[in-house]
Amino acid sequence: MIERHQVLTWLRETDEQRLETLWHWADAARRAHVGDAVHLRGLIELSNHCVRHCGYCGLRAPNAQLPRYRMTTDEILACARQAVAFGYGTVVLQSGEDPQLTTAWVTDLVRRIRAETPLAITLSLGEREPDELSAWRRAGADRYLLRFETSNRALLNEIHPPQPQAGRDRIALLRVLRDLDYEVGSGVMIGIPGQTYDDLANDIELFRTLDLDMIGVGPFLPHPETPLGAAQLGPCPLDQVPNTELMTYKVVALTRLACPRANIPSTTALATLNRASGRELGLQRGANIIMPNLTPTEYRCLYEIYPAKACLYETAEQCHGCLMRRIVALGRAIGTGPGGSPNWQARAQQPRASAPQAGVRN
């Protein structure tokens, strides 16, 4: 198990030859604990409406420059059927924090997908009430992604101000999700202004403490139509974490060593920083998941959480073909089935006070 002082040392490491050792350790841990298969999660961006005022995200409510959309149930089901045709085992239903995606509407959508496809279902719909999360789990949702973004609470409140009427605690919600028997995912941004190396080491330690099943990390990329995107930042403090491609690889690798059984994606943000080989390098440094985008192109360009996202104007077919070729070129296998986290599977085998709901699969 990697210790905190080792994490801090590696976060500050810049020697390329030394870093090859870290990449080797992370890739070996990935192979030993989650195998060589790269599982594909079909991403469907349901809605770009959001009530939050986050200081970095292009979907923030005050961004009047952004045309808003919500996909219909039929459009979403068409994307889910496309995921089946492509051989994916999972769809990820993601949106801004949109109250119009009601408990009943999402419940019906989850049930429809479960009835019409063999897909596992991951939800990423922001901070929701425990009774909503419970209803969606009972309906058949398998996984929930809720990034805590940074373990530094003061820094989080600066960039992600809480709702005045509902100060939900994301760490507490992650524990609720675990109690509901979801496969639980979270993650952080790397290089937030004011984020220190100690903060980032704390983030990695919190991944382990929360016993996460899925962990997504990516660089801080603020949208220009946000306070942090428009701000003229001064010189970086000495201990400021950079939001670089290299730092992101280091966090991917260290996360693999800290949480060896978790599913870890090589993200679109990495591909945005390095379109030629960002995803591949992520897969070679600890990651085992890719999330091809199934969102129709007329909506995809409107889900602009940060600028110049990779694959913005590709069709789902083009994105699928490109990723398949890249994975095969690495000598890695394409995963089949839902590809549940070995961490969740190990926890599911432990005795529980009550059995999970019938019909719910991972």
Q: What angle do CA 311, 271, 96 make, to 5 degrees?
A: 65
Q: What average pLDDT does this structure show over 3-11?
A: 97
- Whether residue 359 is contained in a domain is answered as no
Compute the mean pLDDT over every residue in the chain, rounded to the nearest whole number: 93
- Whether residue 287 is contained in a domain is answered as yes
Among the residue ranges 30-39, 72-81, 135-144, 302-311, the one predicted with the least confidence is 302-311
Q: Give the whole-angstrom CA distance, residue 50 versus residue 69.
A: 11
Residues 11-50: pLDDT tens digits?
999 999 999 999 999 999 999 999 999 999 999 999 999 9
What confidence score (pLDDT) does residue 146 get?
98
- Whether residue 354 is contained in a domain is answered as no
What confidence score (pLDDT) does residue 44 get?
98
- Surface-to-core class of residue 232, CB atoms within 10 Å of its CB (0-12 exposed, 13-18 middle, 19+ buried): exposed
Phi–psi pair at 149, nearest 5 degrees: 70, -45
Residues 184-243: pLDDT tens digits?
999 999 999 999 999 999 999 999 999 999 999 999 999 999 999 987 666 667 899 999
Does residue 107 carry a pLDDT above 90? yes
- Whether residue 80 is contained in a domain is answered as yes
- Whether residue 306 is contained in a domain is answered as yes
Report which residue type is found at 221.
L
Closest CA to 338 of 2, 39, 19: 39
Q: Give the whole-angstrom CA distance, residue 177 versus residue 64.
A: 33
Q: Give the whole-angstrom CA distance, residue 226 versus residue 228.
A: 6
Total tally of structural domains belonging to the chain: 1
Output the CA–CA distances (angstroms, integers) from residue 300 to 95, 124, 310, 313, in the order listed. Answer: 12, 16, 11, 8
Closest CA to 6 of 263, 250, 239: 250
What confidence score (pLDDT) does residue 194 get?
94
Q: Give the whole-angstrom CA distance, residue 197 versus residue 71.
A: 40
Report which residue type is found at 169.
D
| CATH code for the domain of 94 | 3.20.20.70
According to the 3-state scheme, what is the secondary structure of 327-360? HHHCCCEECCCCCCCHHHHHHHCCCCCCCCCCCC
What confidence score (pLDDT) does residue 349 get?
86
Domain range enclosing 87:
4-348
Q: Give the whole-angstrom CA distance, residue 271 versus residue 281.
A: 10
- Whether residue 309 is contained in a domain is answered as yes
Give yes or no for a contact between 214 and 263, defined as CB atoms under 8 angstroms apart: yes
- Whether residue 355 is contained in a domain is answered as no
* Structure letter (DSSP) for residue 120: E
Residues 129-160: pLDDT tens digits?
999 999 999 999 999 999 999 999 999 999 99
* Structure letter (DSSP) for residue 291: -
Output the CA–CA distances (angstroms, integers) from residue 251 to 26, 32, 43, 258, 299, in the order listed. Answer: 10, 19, 23, 10, 31
Strands (E), the chain: 37-47, 90-95, 120-124, 143-145, 183-190, 214-219, 289-290, 333-334
Report which residue type is found at 16.
E
- Whether residue 184 is contained in a domain is answered as yes
What confidence score (pLDDT) does residue 165 get?
65
Give yes or no for a contact between 88 and 119, defined as CB atoms under 8 angstroms apart: yes
120-124 and 214-219 strand pairing: unpaired
